[in-house]
Each structure stands twice: as C-alpha cells, then as structure tokens.
Structure 1
Amino acid sequence: MQFLSEEEAYLFYNKYACSLGFSIRRGNQHKVKNSSTIQQRTFTCSRQGVHAEDKREDKFNYSRPETRCGCDARMKISLTNGIYYVYEFKEAHNHSLATGNMSQYLRSHRKVTEAQLANAEVAKSVGISNKATIDLMTKEACGPENLGFISTDMKNRVYSKRTLKAKVGDTGGVLELWRRRFQKMSFFYSIQVYKDDLITNIFWTDSKMVSDYALFGDVICFDTTYRKLDDGRPFGLIVGVNNHKKTIVFGTALLYDETVEVLLGFLEHF
C-alpha cells in the first residue's frame, strides 16, 4: 500500500480505525537529514504505551483516568522515491473496541471544521452563547451523531483561536477583553503587568462589594487558600461577615504568586 503524503496515510489509518472502533495518534517520526521531510512515521492506537508515574500525584485531589494499556496496534510508513509505503502493520488490540456509532466520539474522529468555527465566532459576536450555537448546529445536522464534534471541542477551538490572536508580549487584546467584561458587569478592576507586558495580577470588585464593605468592613479576612490545582495561581478573597452572620465578599483577585510584594500590592489596591 502506498501514499503520496504523510497526511494521506494518516487519513487512511484514521478512517480504518473509525470503522473498527478505536482512535489513533501520531507516534515516532524520523526526518530526512537537514530537511523537514518525514522519512518514517508511526501511527498508533491511542491506547498505545503506558503513562509514566506522575510524581505530583500526591499533591492533587483529582487525577486523570488512565487510558493507555500498552496496545500494540500500529501502522508504519517509510518514504522511498517520493512515495510512502507501509512496511509494518499490526492489527491486534488488547482492549475492547467501540461498537456501533460510538467510534465517532473518539478523539481522532472528532473535528471542528473551519466553517463551523466561523459560524460560532459570528454567533458569539452577536451575543449568542456557545451552548445555543452548538444546539442549533446539532439540529441542522439532524442529530449529534452527524455533528462531527462535541461541545468541548468547539470551546477549545474558539479559545485557541482567540489566544493565537494575542502575540507573545502583546496584552492589548487581552486587556481590552477584560476591560469590556468588567465594564458590562459594573466592575471596578485593576490589572498589573510586568515590564514585558505580560499580565500578572488582576484585582476586581463591584458596587455591592463596596457597599457591603462600608457597612460590615470592621473586620476582614484575606484568604488565598482556594486554588483550582496545586500548580495553579492563587485566587484571593477578602471576606467578612454581615449582620446575619453570613460570609460576604469585599474583593477578589487572581494573583501570580503569594510573595510578600504581590500580597502587599493586592492589599494596597483594595
């Protein structure tokens, strides 16, 4: 079997995988010396190999489920005289395969097209939520089985596209996005940046927080114990207690770290 390009070989193996009920990924590659041309490429089952032990496991409350089980199914191609030939093919799997139409929900078979992404961007620009946009696309496609992706795929593509628009060191678009969001929500905010124009600390509060602080700000507590993950950034809260002995928030911040300089800067802004 032969192919004109590495991409053509990938599409073939991916289509084959979809028909059998497994997902694939690109494996090892070797390039022609002093060139970007791929000499050899391995396409494997997505469950090939095993994950190395995560030394951070004891720090997390949640760990990702293990999906790899050492499956040895693969296809290897090699370039000869401008044509890619299959020189090794293993079809046996050591795990159960997806049945029926469930294979279309496996990772390598899901794809958001440029047209779908453009429609989502237009819908977002006029205030339509991602969920409503995906629901409409699902109806137009006559069901989720014909859509070709799941909602997470669309969210990731939209986020990635907006992230790529902001060049390294260029926070203009990001800052403007934050400003517009806070202004629409009647927020008061402060954004700190490093000398290389990268955002570090963001502080915000709203009119209700200001009003509550004026009434119940005799005693406050500064708390940065909440984090999404142990290696994430601290999310700081200045809280107090109202006359009903209920906790209320006076101010919030997303901090770069918990150094003395950062914490003092946050309190000065507050």
Structure 2
Amino acid sequence: MIHNEKEAYEVYCAYAHHIGFSVRKEHDTFWPNSRNLKMKDFVCGKTGFKKELNVAQTVKYKRIGTRSGCLTIIGYAIDVKGDWTFKKFIESHKHSLANPGDKHLLLSSRKISEFNANVLRSMTQLGIRPRDVFNFLATKVGGVENLKCTKIDVFNLIQREKRYKIENDDANALLQLFIERCADDSMFE
C-alpha cells in the first residue's frame, strides 16, 4: 500500500531501475479549493517529444532529443483521506531499455547516499580531490555501478555546498557590517 508521493516515486523508481528506464514526475491534479493531491502520474523519462524551437530563435548549442514518445505511465488516484490507489498502468516502451551495466546511469536511479555524502564532505575538507574520493567510494562498494551516482553528481554536490557556504557567509558578514556601522554612525539610527 502506498501512503504518500515520495513512497510512490521511490517504489516506481526501483521498478524502473530493475527494468532499465528512467522515471520523471508528470501530471498533478488537485482537489478543488485545496492543495491536496487528487491524481499523480509518473512516466518514463522518454515520454513525449521535445518542443520545437522557433525558426527565428538561435541557440548556441543544440542538444540531442532524448524523448521518443514512450507511452509508459503509472497513475495514482488519491482520495480525500489521502489513500493512494492505482489508476492506470501502461508498460509498453517505444525505445530500447538500458543494459544491466548502464542502469546506474539512469537519472532517476542516481542518488548520493547520506553516508557517502558525509564521507565525501569530510575527505574533501581534508584536501582530497573529489575525483579521488569518488574512486575511493567506488572501490569500497565494488565498482562504479554499485555507487548509484556519477562523478558529475559528486562534483555538483561539492560545488552546491561551497556556493551555499559562501552565500551564507557573505550575507552574515554584510549583516554584521551593517550592525557595526549602526552602532558607530548616527546616520543609521
């Protein structure tokens, strides 16, 4: 029995990883006059088609289209009490599925565990390069495919935390500066 959106997403992601496709969240329908979910759909990552660009619009880089019009979907209906039930399930893919050796690269399967994130933080704070920490973690779990993340995920985690720390420190330093100037300068009173 599914009890909430997070649980539904995790169950479907586990199924998708086993089969060999990626998942994304799709349609939300809400009960009238509330923010409570009424229906929720999860689809294959290749569902739909890429939007066509304007002819007049120029782009610097053109990405390869990854969408193939796949019809795979799982839909849930959520009643007023919050109980989740299956509404629809279509399992037909219009594309090839991931090979067993490539399943760890699927976007919905990638996640840095809290333990690995803590190891990553502590080792990079000691001055070890993120690439070396990634290789260390991959060795410890028996290979990159068992790590459930990529080097890019590791670099993104480190950069996001550095940026957050810098932004918070800058804001706090500016706030402290204003507080000091208020105390010293009568103009700020």
TM-score (norm 1): 0.58
1:253 corresponds in structure 2 to none
Q: Distance in 2 between matches of 1:157 and 1:31?
A: 33
Higher strand share: 1
Deviating beyond 4 angstroms after TM superposition, the runs of 4 or more aligned structure 1 residues are none
Does 2:65 correspond to 1:76?
A: no
Relative to 1, partners in 2 of residues 1:97 and 1:158: Cα closer, same or farther, differing over 3 Å? same
C-alpha distance in structure 1 between counterparts of 2:140 and 2:166, whole Å: 33
Partner of 1:96: 96
SS of aligned partner of 1:3: coil
- SS of 1:58's partner is coil
Match of 1:18?
17
Q: Is the 8 A contact 1:50 1:69 kept in 2?
A: yes
Query: How far is 1:90 from its partner?
Result: 0.5
SS in 2 for 1:51: coil
Aligned-residue sequence identity (percent) comes to 26
Give ranges in structure 2 of 5+ residues lacking alignment.
Answer: 174-189
Given the two structures, how large is their TM-score scaled by the length of structure 2?
A: 0.81
Helix, strand or coil: the match of 1:70? coil
* CA displacement 1:240-266 (0-9 Å, x = unmatched): xxxxxxxxxxxxxxxxxxxxxxxxxxx
Q: Secondary structure at the match of 1:101?
A: helix
The residue type paired with residue 150 of structure 2 is I
Any residues of structure 2 matched to 1:190-205 within 5 Å, and which? none
Q: CA deviation at 1:122?
A: 1.2
CA contact (8 A) 1:120 1:130 kept: yes
Residues 206-237 of structure 1 show CA distances to partners (whole Å, capped at 9, x for unaligned) of: xxxxxxxxxxxxxxxxxxxxxxxxxxxxxxxx
Match of 1:149 in 2: 149
**Contact 1:117 / 1:158 at 8 angstroms: preserved in 2?**
no
Aligned length: 171
Note if contact 2:39-2:77 (Cα within 8 Å) is conserved in structure 1: yes
Change in 2 beyond 3 A, CA 1:78/1:162: farther
Larger radius of gyration: 1
Corresponding residue number in structure 2 for 1:264: none
**Per-residue displacement from partner, 1:28-78 (whole Å, max 9, x unpaired)?**
112334444322111000001111123486341x32221011111000101
CA-based RMSD of the aligned residues comes to 2.3
Higher helix share: 2
After TM superposition, list the pairs within 5 Å mapping 1:1-270 onto structure 2: 2-55=1-54, 58-60=58-60, 62-80=61-79, 81-165=81-165, 172=170
* CA displacement 1:145-171 (0-9 Å, x = unmatched): 21111101111122223334455xx67
SS at match of 2:100: coil
Unaligned runs of 5+ in 1: 176-270
* CA apart distance, 1:172: 1.3
Q: State the distance in 2 between where 1:51 and 1:75 align.
A: 21
Answer whether contact 1:6 1:38 (CA < 8 A) is retained: no
